[in-house]
Copies of this chain bind each other. A is one copy, B any other.
Amino acid sequence: MRGRTRRAILAAAASALARDRGATLADIAEAAQVGRSTLHRYFPDRQELLNATIVDSFRVVEQSIAAAAVHQGPPREAMRRLITAMVDVGDRLAFLFGDPRVLEESTACFEPDASVPTALSLIERGQAEGVFDPQVSAEWIQEMLYAITYTGWEAAERGLLPRHGVTSTVIRTFENGLAVRP
């Protein structure tokens, strides 16, 4: 099926580019188990593949985050669901946010999406309710949310953390930091 091949290429592209942003089209084609000609048939040039991968990854991430229903329930619980959802799509996040340049390009092929404001609004709600640190900006909390999740994903990737322990470790670090309260 044609849609099948397309999805395989996009998934392979996100995964390969997350691990190495300099990955060759040949690398990606091989990862997708597809000939380089076929890849070019679906995506005429590298830029188009990149754009399509960005759009697709946003879609996957958005979908996963939407399922977390971050606007419902207490902020702390909502954040835990959000983190779980983000860890689940770690490779897509690593692709999108692992390299600042990818994000810049996204504005060229994608309108400001709804998922980021979603996380930000949860953070702001949590700050208003006194659950998240009000001494730092909501944007900083959001940056750290991505950073901790990414670090957890990468740690699992390198075998430093067991896959099943990533979510709880990320949540724990997000909530408590690394020091014991005095």
Interface residues of A (CB under 8 A from B): 20-22, 76, 79, 100-101, 126, 130-137, 139-141, 143-145, 147-148, 150-151, 154-155, 158, 160-161, 169, 172-181
Contact = CB atoms under 8 A, between A and B. Distances in A.
A148 B146 CA distance: 11
26 contacts: A21-B22, A76-B179, A131-B179, A132-B180, A133-B179, A134-B180, A136-B173, A136-B178, A137-B160, A139-B160, A140-B155, A140-B161, A143-B151, A143-B160, A144-B148, A144-B151, A144-B173, A147-B150, A174-B178, A175-B177, A175-B178, A176-B176, A176-B179, A177-B177, A177-B178, A181-B181
Q: Is the interface of A mostly helix, strand, loop or mixed?
A: helix
A27 to B, nearest CB: 14
A174 B179 contact: yes
A133 B178 contact: yes
Number of copies of this chain that the complex holds: 2
Contacts of A150: 147
Tell me which of A20, A101, A177 has the highest count of chain B C-beta atoms within 10 A of its own C-beta: A177
A91 to B, nearest CB: 14
A80 to B, nearest CB: 10
A150 B98 CA distance: 12
B139 A169 contact: no
A135 B180 CA distance: 10
Contact of A176 (B22, B100, B177): B177
Given A148-B144, A154-B100, A155-B143, A179 B175 contact: yes
Contacts of A173: 136, 140, 144, 177
Nearest to A147: B151
